[in-house]
A and B are shown apart, each in its own frame.
Chain A
Amino acid sequence: NAGVTQTPKFRVLKTGQSMTLLCAQDMNHEYMYWYRQDPGMGLRLIHYSVGEGTTAKGEVPDGYNVSRLKKQNFLLGLESAAPSQTSVYFCASSTRTGGPEAFFGQGTRLTVV
């Protein structure tokens, strides 16, 4: 029973490098989210998706892109990493209606040097 799986769990990037974070869920959820967590800032929404093929911007979308080509996967891309993107990234998924509980992955700790 995997739930929400994030890959990788840790990564160190040099400024200007690119990378993709993968989120996979096996609960057939419609909604998927990417958040970043920074000390004192809580979880801030980067992008989210309400279904396959759709994406929407959250609170802090600049410097990130996302894609939802398959219902079970939600990819977060950094085209040119900056030190300000050093953070812990969490993916989550939820059902469409009914007071949706979001299920979270274990997080990806990204350091940009």
Chain B
Amino acid sequence: AQSVTQLGSHVSVSEGALVLLRCNYSSSVPPYLFWYVQYPNQGLQLLLKYTSAATLVKGINGFEAEFKKSETSFHLTKPSAHMSDAAEYFCAVSERQAGTALIFGKGTTLSVSS
């Protein structure tokens, strides 16, 4: 069964520092992979997704993620953190065949200090 593991429930960075949020997936074949962001008291918003094209995926707000099949990873990065990036981030996976659901990791809370 598909699953995702997010390493680190809480990540703290300084403003301007590199952001790295880790996600590993478990799937028999390369799945669809997603990163979502949730700001306080709001729903989830898609940051980026990997479907099958380029392994380096660029998303909104300067975020990007690289799909590495050999490492079964899909880590999220941003070169320079802003205060506004403080939020909870979720990695999610969906198998490619029809009829399967979207499964989320437990989330990583990103704190950004000035």
Using a CB–CB cutoff of 8 Å, the interface residues on chain A facing chain B are: 4, 31, 33, 35, 40-45, 48, 50, 56, 58-59, 90, 92, 94, 96-102, 104-107
Contacts and interface: CB of A to CB of B under 8 A. Distances in A.
B94 interface: yes
A90 B92 CA distance: 15
B49 A90 contact: no
Contacts of A58: 101
Interface string B37-63: 000001111100111100000000000
Interface string B15-41: 000000000000000001010000000
Nearest to A41: B106
B43 A105 contact: yes
Given A58-B101, A99-B52, 16 more contacts: A4-B43, A33-B102, A40-B106, A41-B106, A42-B104, A45-B103, A45-B104, A48-B101, A50-B98, A56-B101, A92-B102, A102-B92, A104-B45, A105-B43, A106-B42, A107-B42
A102 B106 contact: no
B50 to A, nearest CB: 8
B32 A42 contact: no
B9 interface: yes
A100 B43 contact: no
Given A43-B90, A101-B34, A101-B49, A90 B44 contact: yes
Contact of B102 (A42, A94, A97, A107): A94
Contacts of A94: 102
